[in-house]
Amino acid sequence: MDSIFPSWVTDIATIISIFSFFISIYALLEISKVKKTFTQKGRMPNISNDLEKLSKSFLKHVETYEKSKDLLNADLKNFIALLEANTAHIAKENKSKIEEFINKQKNITHPVSKDMAWNIYGELSGIVTYTKEINKNFRWK
């Protein structure tokens, strides 16, 4: 079938189509990066605030250990559940410390002693500080 266009126009159109395909793939990859970054920036302040609230609750229960042993364990489980649910929103380079904490806490037998509860609180505080620093770093990206 004959075309009304010369063959060189068809060749240029084909090259432009191929070029447009690669530009589309590049744009798709960039959009997915932006989406991930936006999700991390959007969720990190909420995650950090929730972790801080749970940490304060855990501290109150450690201070009144004899009365609230069971609540300590509940707070710890909530803390771990919150971290596990939100690790998808945390960048790969920041996940290792959080995953290490989660795995360490899962191996603890309950109920915990008062000394162990203070140690766990120290680690919880470290995770809260870590997430706050991650959040601060996002302001510069």
Retrieve residue 34's tokens: 């932006």
pLDDT tens column, 83-132: 888 887 777 777 888 888 888 887 777 677 888 888 888 988 988 888 88
**33-75 per-position pLDDT tens digit:** 888 777 777 777 888 888 888 888 888 888 888 887 778 888 8
Residue 76 lies in a domain: yes
What residue numbers bound the domain in which 101 lies? 43-138
What domain count does the chain have?
1
Domain-embedded: residue 5: no
> Is position 60 within any domain?
yes
pTM of the model: 0.66
The answer to whether position 119 is within a domain reads yes
DSSP string, 34-82: HHHHHHHHHHHHHHHHHHHHHHHHHHHHHHTTTT-HHHHHHHHHHHHHH
Which tokens go with 13?
Answer: 């159109």
Residue 20, in any domain of the structure:
no
12 within some domain: no
Residue 18 lies in a domain: no
The enclosing domain of 48 has a CATH number of: 1.20.120
Answer yes or no: is 27 within a domain.
Answer: no
